[in-house]
Amino acid sequence: MPDVDELQRRFRSLAETAAPRAPLYSLLSSAIAEDREVVELLTAAPATQQAPVLLLAATHHLVLSGVAPDLAVHYPNLNGGDASASDPWPAFRQLCSDHADDIRALVATRHTQTNEVGRCATFLPVFAALARETGRPIAHVDVGTSAGLTLLWDRYGYRYQPGPSLAADSDVVLPCGVRGDAPLPDALAPRVAGVGLDLHPIDVTDTQATRWLEACVWPDQIDRFHRLEAALSVARRSPPTIVQGDAVDDVAALVRDAAQLGHAVVTTSWALNYLTAERQAEFVAVLDAVGRDVDVSWVAAESPEQTPGLALPHPPGTEHLTVLTLRTWRAGSVSTTALATAHPHGYWLHWLSQPT
């Protein structure tokens, strides 16, 4: 179990790495690192979850709930707050003192979740190609789906740069910079069904649950925060179907059901890194077993460094990046290709000139 000294080191590390893109969290992390009483709040979390961003998400959750208006003015995603305008630390320290029990309860029972809809922009070209190839609509199974927002890709708009704009009148329009000869579609692929699988799914109609999802977005990332709000609004009009279950143990039945409706397409995006290498290998083995019986495609946007058990191909030097990989099963035959590298939140897609 990490001791307080180790947790202080982690906060100092975050203060350094976050400085270029998240000045508020950099400033707060630097101050937290020197306050052992605040750092100790994080020890209420399970040992594997004791990351500084979990404590920051817990405090962000309280700020979003309205209990700390003096701190909220410093949050860029709220009322145009500016961390550099004045020192947010006194208000942050007061929040930690006044709501210490609430913070301990949050870090003890929650884990950070990222339901980033921007990743849909990287999936879209692959969906279109699969629909053309198979002649069937997409029957989508999203593993590690959280609130299921990436299941709703056909309700969003897209603006590829350079490239086409699709459904640009949507309430959610996702920009994506493109490099290389990506097979960008001129229309959304047909979709017949979608189901998500998650061990701890979030109900988009539950305000408290979605507030936690919003709290996990760093407040300096204003566009991501408001994009998430818009995507949740879209989802509430017709909530996605989500099954609570294990990524390895429960995926096969969902894929077999999907294959009865259209072409079964499984997606994972920064989800399988939460499994051990052994469980990652078991996930692939489960899909291999299903693929012996039905045609399936798996589109993975994962970090090779963090998913060694998947044993997916990737070009040299991309271990630390998000690699977009397609694995297909057709009449029992298996093919796996690394297609592109991508921003983890979908802001850019770099198609490989020679897919691996």
Q: Is CATH 2.30.42 correct for 117-203+239-351?
A: no
Segment 132-145, tens digit of pLDDT: 999 999 999 999 99
Percentage above 90 pLDDT, the chain? 91
Segment 177-220, tens digit of pLDDT: 999 999 999 999 999 999 999 998 999 999 989 999 999 999 99
Instruction: Please report which confidence band the pLDDT of residue 281 belongs to, taking 50, 70 and 90 as the band edges.
Output: very high
Instruction: Break the chain into its structural domains and give their ranges.
Output: 4-109, 117-203+239-351
Q: What is the mean pLDDT of the chain?
A: 95
The secondary structure of the chain, three-state, reads CCCHHHHHHHHHHHHHHHCCCCHHHHHHHHHHCCCHHHHHHHHHCCHHHCCHHHHHHHHHHHHHCCCCHHHHCCCCCCCCCCCCCCCCHHHHHHHHHHCHHHHHHHHHHCCCCCCCHHHHHHHHHHHHHHHHHHCCCEEEEEECCCCCHHHHHHHCEEEEECCCEECCCCCCEEEEEEECCCCCCCCCCCEEEEEEEECCCCCCCCHHHHHHHHHCCCCCCHHHHHHHHHHHHHHHHCCCCEEECCCCCCHHHHHHHHHCCCEEEEEEECCHHHCCHHHHHHHHHHHHHHHCCCCEEEEEEECHHHCHHHCCCCCCCCCCCEEEEEEEEECCEEEEEEEEEECCCCCEEEECCCCC
Residue 114, pLDDT score: 79
